[in-house]
């Protein structure tokens, strides 16, 4: 009975043959170190290497074109179907990366590397790869959760990781925010999902809070009426439930304080706040109602010496 011959994986055969070929070529060159001999020995090797590099470059160009084309096709199809912009952005970018994931094994097959052997190598190093890609994988998972839970969407004004601005894109790995001072901030999806999200346009309306005080001795009812009149004329309410409100808050150090509440469309917050403050100031000044600044009253228990200081 013939003894079983141990089987060597194809990839190992290729590596062994390649190393043996390189060693033999160097031995031949050392035995006769001339330019003519070098070209004869290394010429075919360099030609094969050059052909492989050219083929790889062509493949990369083709895959890059196809991936971008696929991204545009998916984006256009989802847009025509009136799918939400956030979902459209995420899925179109996912389609782009999917093309690359499909192309990589095909490329290995074209260059003679068996994917079965490659899978065995990757499986053996799976733990190391998993640890190395832990952050990237968590960002992908967080991106999927953000897509499903929808705490934010493209076009929302949000505060993430201390940055405030408009969500421009929800990607595979990062959420892109365009700040109010025109900076582009990339926040990892895992940081978005794992921390507080302040969505300033999550609801269609938002309340503007303004603190204001009038001088002691002022007619408080008159001051309230003046402020309400100014707000109703400058910031019209969309419904009776959203009319401006003026509430007495308490006795301050230099004034009697009010809390002023004005409702507005969420995206008009800064404009409405600006209009409301201008209207309040003008109305109180016109009614001769003082808006005081902090003061201190000094009480002396005895005579205070006064001296003049000569000027130079």
CATH number at residue 46: 1.10.287
Q: pLDDT class for 122, splitting at 50, 70, 90?
A: low
Residue 54 lies in a domain: yes
pLDDT score, position 15: 42
Q: Which residue has the higher pLDDT, 90 or 14?
A: 90
Residues 77 and 105 reside in one and the same domain: yes
Residue 26 lies in a domain: no
CA distance linking residue 90 with residue 146, whole number of Å:
10
Residues 281 and 212 reside in one and the same domain: yes
Percent of the chain predicted with pLDDT > 70: 73
* pTM > 0.75: yes or no: no
Q: pLDDT class for 117, splitting at 50, 70, 90?
A: low
Residues 187 and 233 reside in one and the same domain: no
* Residues of the domain holding 238: 205-286
Among residues 199, 233, 258, the one where a domain terminates is 199
Would you put residue 147 in left (φ > 0), alpha (ψ -120 to 50) or beta?
Answer: alpha
> 171: Cβ–Cβ under 8 A, 6 or more apart, which residues?
89, 90, 93, 143, 189
Residue 7 predicted with pLDDT over 60: no
Residue 9 lies in a domain: no
Q: Which residue has the higher pLDDT, 223 or 126?
A: 223
CATH number at residue 193: 2.30.30.60
CA distance linking residue 219 with residue 154, whole number of Å:
48
Residue 271 lies in a domain: yes
Q: What would the mean pLDDT of 29-44 be, rounded to a whole number?
A: 52
Instruction: Render pLDDT for 236-280 as a digit per residue (tens, 0 to 9).
Output: 766 666 889 999 999 998 899 999 999 999 989 999 999 999 999
Residues 195 and 209 reside in one and the same domain: no
Exposed, middle or buried by CB within 10 Å (0-12, 13-18, 19+), for 23?
A: exposed
Beta strands in 161-204 (DSSP E): 163-170, 174-179, 184-188, 198-199
Among residues 107, 123, 139, the one where a domain terminates is 123
Instruction: Render pLDDT for 290-300 as a digit per residue (tens, 0 to 9).
Output: 999 877 777 88
Instruction: Render pLDDT for 67-76 as a digit per residue (tens, 0 to 9).
Output: 888 888 888 8
Q: pLDDT class for 127, splitting at 50, 70, 90?
A: low
Exposed, middle or buried by CB within 10 Å (0-12, 13-18, 19+), for 90?
A: buried
What's the structural domain count of the chain? 3
Residue 12 predicted with pLDDT over 70: no
Six-digit token string for 154:
């493209």
């Amino acid at each position: 009975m013939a003894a079983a011959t141990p089987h060597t994986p194809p990839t190992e055969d290729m590596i062994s043959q390649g190393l043996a070929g390189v060693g033999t070529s160097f031995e031949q060159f050392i035995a006769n170190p001339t330019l003519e001999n070098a070209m004869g020995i290394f010429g075919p090797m360099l030609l094969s290497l050059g052909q492989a590099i050219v083929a790889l470059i062509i493949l990369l160009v083709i895959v890059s074109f196809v991936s971008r084309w696929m991204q545009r096709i998916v984006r256009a199809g989802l847009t025509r179907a009136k799918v939400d912009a956030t979902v459209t952005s995420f899925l179109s970018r996912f389609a782009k990366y999917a093309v690359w994931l499909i192309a990589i094994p095909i490329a290995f097959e074209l260059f003679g590397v068996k994917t079965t052997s490659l899978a065995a190598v990757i499986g053996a190093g799976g733990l190391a790869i998993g640890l190395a890609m832990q952050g990237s994988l968590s960002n992908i998972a967080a991106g999927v959760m953000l897509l499903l839970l929808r705490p934010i969407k493209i076009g929302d004004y949000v505060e993430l990781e201390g940055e405030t601005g408009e969500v421009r894109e929800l990607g595979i790995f990062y959420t892109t925010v365009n700040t109010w001072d025109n900076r582009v901030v990339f926040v990892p999806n895992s940081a978005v999902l794992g921390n507080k999200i302040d969505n300033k346009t999550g609801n269609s309306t938002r309340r503007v809070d303004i603190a204001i005080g009038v001088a002691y001795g002022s007619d408080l009812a008159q001051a309230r009426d003046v402020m309400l009149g100014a707000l109703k004329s400058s910031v019209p309410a969309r419904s009776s439930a959203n009319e401006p409100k003026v509430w007495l808050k308490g006795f301050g150090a230099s004034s009697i304080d009010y809390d002023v509440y004005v409702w507005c469309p969420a995206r008009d917050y800064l404009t409405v706040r600006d209009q409301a403050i201008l209207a309040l100031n003008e109305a109180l000044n016109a009614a001769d109602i003082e808006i005081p600044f902090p003061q201190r009253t000094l009480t002396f228990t005895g005579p205070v010496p006064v001296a003049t200081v000569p000027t130079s």
